[in-house]
Structure formats: structure tokens, C-alpha cells
Structure 1
Amino acid sequence: MNAVAMKFKIPEQLNAAKPPERRGIRRDFVRMMVLNRGNGEVEHATFYDLDQYLKKGDILILNNSRTVPAILYAEQIRNNKTINPKVEIRLAHRKTEKSWEVLIVSDHVKDGDQLRFSTKLGATISIIANREPFYKLHFSLTGTQLYNEIYSLGEPVRYEYIQGEWDLNYYQTVYASVPGSVEMPSAGRAFSWELLLKLQRKGVHIAFLQLHTGLSYLLDDKYHQEPSENTESYQIPQETVELIQRSKQNGGKVIAVGTTVVRALETAVNEQGNLIEKSGWTNLYITKNYPLKVVDGLITGLHEPEASHLQLLSAFINEEDLMEAYHQAIKESYLWHEFGDMNLIL
């Protein structure tokens, strides 16, 4: 895929620099490129018209993970002396009620260094064997108290194409409920409650799972992370399993909202090929050679040429049709990234 994927280039003006609400449109009125899995045909629509492409009995699976403000700043202390008055810390993966794997934007870190974020919150750094560039932070607070302080002190992860320091609320889906993602599960951002209600009135079922996204961008690519090294925590409840099974039995299609949902669902398939209630960590790497066992369709954003997400998309549709659709998207001036336009593959 990489050789094929690198044949397109995103013009600078197609990087969505602002949320759609700040461009004068509703979040559910972004554009939607509809891609037919069977013949590769492309249609151009508006996301609010999603109900026209789904049928009664289909089921949408949403990731209810809530984005946390993952950029924090702290005073770095060693042997009771301040060695850095303001070091940047990027949360990467929550490991326990009081510990996180993090990226520390500094070349001067030692095991046992102390971090002081505020009068309420401190942490101790531990070096993790064979996990460069990640460190483990053991915080002085736990559970809800820790999250409250993180939300009080942190900033959302923002990348260089974003214009403006948009508030954390712009990095949430309307249905997000469980804190844990350090980057927004952005495929669901375009949904509004109005659109979800419209879909349900048509008879489209809605179900939830949880996958907490980790950091995808590591210090200006100083470190490279293989897709199989991207390990994220997930939880699929029994209620969602039963709703999916019922929909499939009645001829409905399972539509994953985001690559996070695809990874979680396909991870929770047992040896008999059945989806089961499951939680844990997944590093599932899906490519064109992976036979999808649960998911029939996908709602996603538009991805960069080097992104491993494109390889996952090639499990749904052949690479040539996918690349032809992406060239059309560029020609039609679709917008990329978390504040951009959407792609339905069905």
C-alpha cells in the first residue's frame, strides 16, 4: 500500500485548519464521499444525508471514548533541584488508575525524576525497558481526582495544520462519555444528536464500544512506531455483541464509525469466528490480506498518504479503487484531518 499511497499529495489548502462550526457550517454538514465496495463507484454527498445510504436493520457502532487534554507541563526535579522549570509531557496510554505511559519532550530524563504539575498533582518517572520513547508516570492522584486535575491543567493535542488554539470541546464527539483518548476518535465527530435520531427513526440501530486512542505522532517523527506496535485499550460490552448478532441475523450490515471501532471488533473474535464480549489491549494490524469477520462498512475521515489507516481501508476495497477515490477527493477539494470531510465505504 505504501508505494501506491505515496502517489498522491494533499495540497496545503485541503488541510482542515478549523472546525466546521468555525467555517460557518454545522458539524453534520461536512461533505461525504461514498465509496462502493463492490464496484469502486464514487458518489459525493453531505454527511447529514447518511440515512439515505443505510437501511432499516443496519447497525452503527460508535466509539464512546472521550478525548482528554493530553498535553501537560511540569517542573522537572532531580535530587530536590529543578533541572527544567517547564517540560512538556504528552499522555500516550493510560495503564492503571494512577499511571500513564507518556512522551516527555526532553533529552534529559532519568529514572526517578520528579514532576510537579501543580500544588495538587505530582508524578515520578520510571524508565520502561524496550519502550523507547515512552516513559511511565506514577501520579500522586488516582481515578477521578487524577482526571479532574488533568482536565484542569491540560491542553488538547494540536497538530501543525490547525489554525487557532481551539477549546477541548471541539475535539469531542457529541456522544463521548468515557475519558481516555489522547487524540479524538475523529470519525464520529460529524455526528449530531439530530442525525443520530434521524437514523434511529429510520430503523438504524446504534451501539457503543470503547477504544482509547494513543499518540499517533511522535516528536516530529524522531521515533517511528510500526502499526503493530500501536497498542490501545478497548472494551466491548455484551449488549453491543448481542445487538450486532441480532442485526446480522436479520440481514443488517455492521457499520464501524472509525478505524478504532474496526480494530476493536475484529480483535474480539474468538477461534470459532464469533464476536464475543471482551476487553484488553489490541495491536491488531489490518491490511488488504485481512479477512474482515464482523464489519461490513466503514465511516472514516480522509487519511494521509503515509498513514497505516489506508492499509486498513484496503481490507474493505481494493487499492486501485481506493486511490482513484482519493484522487477524486483531491480534485473535488475535500478537506482532510479531524476537522475535515468524511468517507463512507459500503
Structure 2
Amino acid sequence: MQTEAFKFELPASLNADMPPERRGIRRDYVRMMVLDRASGSSTHTSFYNLPRYINSGDLLILNSSRTVPAVLRAEWRQKRIVRAQDIEIRLARRLSNSNWEALPVAEGLSCGDQLLFSSELRATVISTSKPPFVTLAFSKSGVKLYDHIYALGEPIRYEYIKQMWDLDYYQTVFATTPGSVEMPSAGRAFSWELLFKLRSQGVRIAYLQLHTGLSYLLDDKWHLEPRDHYEEFIIPEETAEAVAETKRAGGKIIAVGTTVVRALESAAGLNSGLTGQTGWTNLQIDETFPLKIVDGLITGLHEPEASHLDLLSSFISPTLLRNAYEEAIREGYLWHEFGDMNLII
């Protein structure tokens, strides 16, 4: 299924423009549509009922990457001349302890230009070879750089979000290591209470990290293909071992988010079996892709023509998926990172 073929009209009223907590419900009380992979039959429930649909012995894998406030503002200096006093810089992905690929909301940046974010933090443009992105070398690195980013930045928000919400609303409860510029939102609906309930009924839980990159480039003339969208992943050895043990025992591997699917399937494709490893992935998954690891998926609802819909079609046929999305619209489900959930199993 090509994304351009998966078109539907999403009413503006179904764009979730605020966190569920600000709508008066707990994060794990959002709605959930459960889809049967084979038949496409659907059940409508709430996310806190997830334990009814995952069995003892199954393995739930979550992305523990922490969201960084990736929107920064800087003074732009070119050959010591101030070109602009306040331009927006959107971090796109971390390349090293001090280097980031970034999207400037301005034109004309050149190698050697300086960006002053504060009296203590600056960056030098060291590459412009991948427009519209530039590569920045920051004056700080590692934890110190993150400290400044967290002090200065704001979370990325898109046009359907009308109000600036605190960064805490863009975090999952289990997030640990900073690195994602957009929230790994499939895990947002989990509460610690729900995770403990799953554990108590025998569901295993493991973690990996895939640091999500910038997906929206602000200008229609730039289009980022999935194969151009490299993201860093880290799979701990204990997670790989948990996958192997679950498979041997006949349990299902349930990925929380398309990020987890891409990390696991990329790692499995690099080796004869899944092992603990670190790498970069630009894996594009669609209905022709033979899933090697993942048996089920927890995800949000994705906008028309999104590449995520191609990935979902590796779990359920495009026709059944389209029918389910049309049903979700009729049922009034809410879309995007603050919206409702979808379990495909």
C-alpha cells in the first residue's frame, strides 16, 4: 500500500489539541480500538482495559527514549554580522555528543555561521549539504548540552495544537534517556498502575530506545522519504533475551509504537537472530514486509497518507485497515499524540 493511495478526510474536530489530562481524564482512560489482524473485526473499549487483550507470557516492548524540547531560538551571526536576532532552530536528530542535525526556520545559513542561543551556549554551522537541514556543532556536549537544551527549548508542536503545553505532557511515564525530538507517543497512554497490573498477570515488559527524528519539515517543497529518515536505536541484551525466551515459550511480542517495530525488525535483519545492539535504521516497512519479530502493535491513529500507515499494513491488510479507520472516524476517535489508541493483535 502506497501512502498516497491511503487518503481519507479527517474532520478537524478529531484532532486532539490537548492532553487527555486537560480534558479531564487520566492518560490511561483514552479510548482504544482493538483490531483482529486476521478478520479486521473491531472492539471499542478504553486503554485501561488493555490487560484483557494481552496474555500471560506475552512480551510488551516499550520505547524508553525521552523527549527533548527541540525548538530553540538563536541570534544568527554571519562573518560577525548579525543577520537576525531571533530565528527558530528545530533539532532534527542527534549525531554525536555535541553535533545535531537541525532545521532552521530561515534561509541562507552557511558553513561557519554562528548561532547564539544564550550567553553560555552557541553552535557553529559545519555542514549545509542536506537541505533543508544543517549540521550544528554545539559549544557544549553530552549532559551539559542537554542541560542547556532543556533550560532553553520548547517541545515541538504542530498546527493542530493551539496552545503550548509543558514538556511533561510530551513524556511517557517510563522515559529515561533523552534523544527524541518528537514524543514516542504510542507509550503515552500507559500509567505505572497499568504497567504494574500487566506485570501482575504475567505479562513481561522490556524496553529499548529509538530516538525519534523530526518528521515534518514545515514547507511542502521538502519531502522526507522514510529511506532518508535515519534514527538511532539501542536494544539492550536483556530485551533481546526476553524476545528469544518469549518466542520459545510461544508467547507474542507486542510492540508499543512503530518506533519499536522498526528497531526490532531492523536489528533482526542485521543478524541471524536478535541480539543486543546499537545502530541506525531507515527501514521502510509495508504490506510486503515479512515481520520476523513482532506479533502485535499498540499505536495511535495516524494522519492521512502518513508512512506509518504503510507499516500498519504489515500487520493487517490495507483494506481491513482502511475500513477500521473509517469506523474510527464514525466513532469519533481522536487523532495524534494526545489522542486515542489502536491495538492490532
C-alpha distance in 2 between matches for 1:222 and 1:172: 31
Query: Residues 97-108 of structure 1: matches in 2 within 5 Å?
Result: 97-108=97-108
Residues 137-156 of structure 1: CA deviation (Å, up to 9, x unaligned): 00001111100000000000
8 A contact 1:270–1:276 mirrored in 2 = no
State whether residues 29 and 47 of structure 1, in contact with CA within 8 Å, keep that contact through their aligned partners in structure 2. yes
Q: Give the Cα separation in 2 of the matches to 1:273 and 1:317.
A: 26
Amino acid at match of 1:61: I
Q: For residues 66 and 237 of structure 2, what CA distance do their matches in structure 1 show?
A: 21
Q: Which residue of 1 aligns with 2:134?
A: 135
* 1:81-131 alpha-carbon deviations (Å, 9 max, x no partner): 2110011100001001111000011112111000110011011012243x2
Which residue matches 2:304? 305
1:156 aligns with 2:164: no
Paired residues of 1:273 and 1:293 also in contact (CA < 8 A): no
| CA separation of 1:313 and 1:270: change in aligned 2, threshold 3 A | closer
TM-score by length of structure 1 reads 0.98
Question: Is structure 2 residue 26 aligned with structure 1 residue 23?
Answer: no
Stretches of 4+ aligned residues off by more than 4 angstroms: 270-273
Q: Secondary structure of 1:242's partner?
A: helix
Please report how far the alpha carbon of residue 271 of structure 1 lies from its aligned counterpart in structure 2 after TM superposition.
Answer: 6.2
Name the counterpart of 2:6.
5
- Which amino acid counterpart does residue 51 of structure 1 have in structure 2? P
Who is 2:171 aligned against? 172
Q: Paired residue for 1:340?
A: 339
Mapped contact 2:4–2:305 kept (Cα < 8 A): no
Aligned residues: 344
Distance in 2 (alpha carbons) for counterparts of 1:288 and 1:50? 26
Amino acid of the structure 1 residue aligned with 2:181:
V
1:161-201 per-residue CA deviation (whole Å, 9 max, x = no partner) reads 01211000000000000000000000000000000000000
The CA distance in 1 between the partners of 2:24 and 2:338, in whole Å, is 13
Amino acid at match of 1:200: R
What is the DSSP-based 3-state SS (H/G/I as helix, E as strand, rest coil) of the residue aligned with 1:268?
A: helix
Query: What SS does structure 2 have at the residue aligned with 1:96?
Result: coil
For 1:260-299, list aligned pairs within 5 A.
260-270=259-269, 273-299=272-298
Partner residue, 1:126: 126
What is residue 76 of structure 1 aligned with on the other side? 76
For residue 117 of structure 2, what is the amino acid of its counterpart? F
Alpha-carbon distance in 1 for matches of 2:4, 2:143: 45
Contact 1:101 1:134 in 2 (8 A): yes
Partner of 1:147: 146
In the alignment, the residues of structure 2 paired with residue 94 and residue 271 of structure 1 have an alpha-carbon distance, to the nearest angstrom, of 22
Whichever residue aligns with residue 124 of structure 1, its letter is T
Q: Please say if 1:210 is aligned against 2:212.
A: no
User: Following the alignment from structure 1 to structure 2, what is the Cα–Cα distance between the partners of residues 202 and 316?
Assistant: 25
SS in structure 1 of the partner of residue 273 of structure 2: coil
Distance 1:271 1:147 in 2: 31
- Per the alignment, do residues 148 and 328 of structure 1 end up closer, same or farther by CA in structure 2, a change over 3 Å counting? same
**One-letter identity of the residue aligned with 1:90:** R
After superposition, the CA RMSD in angstroms is: 1.0
The residue aligned with 2:257 is: 258
Paired AA for residue 113 in structure 2:
D
- Alignment match, 2:46: 46
Note if contact 1:232-1:281 (Cα within 8 Å) is conserved in structure 2. Answer: yes
Q: What residue ranges of structure 2 are gaps of 5+ in the alignment?
A: none
Q: Is the partner of 2:288 in helix, strand or coil?
A: coil
CA contact (8 A) 2:111 2:128 kept: no
| Pair 1:264–1:272, CA change in 2 (3 A) | closer
Return the alpha-carbon distance in structure 2 between the equivalents of residues 313 and 48 of structure 1: 22
The CA distance in 2 between the partners of 1:340 and 1:220, in whole Å, is: 25
1:147 and 1:116 map into 2 onto residues whose CA distance is: 16
Instruction: Give the AA of the match of 2:41.
Output: E
Amino acid at match of 2:96: T
Whole-Å Cα distance in 2 between the matches of residues 298 and 102 of structure 1? 30
Look up the SS of the partner of 1:325 in the other structure.
Answer: helix
**CA distance in structure 1 between the aligned counterparts of 2:227 and 2:116, rounded to whole angstroms:** 33
Q: How far off is 1:260 after superposition?
A: 0.2
Q: Percent identity?
A: 59
Q: Tell me the equivalent position of 1:91.
A: 91
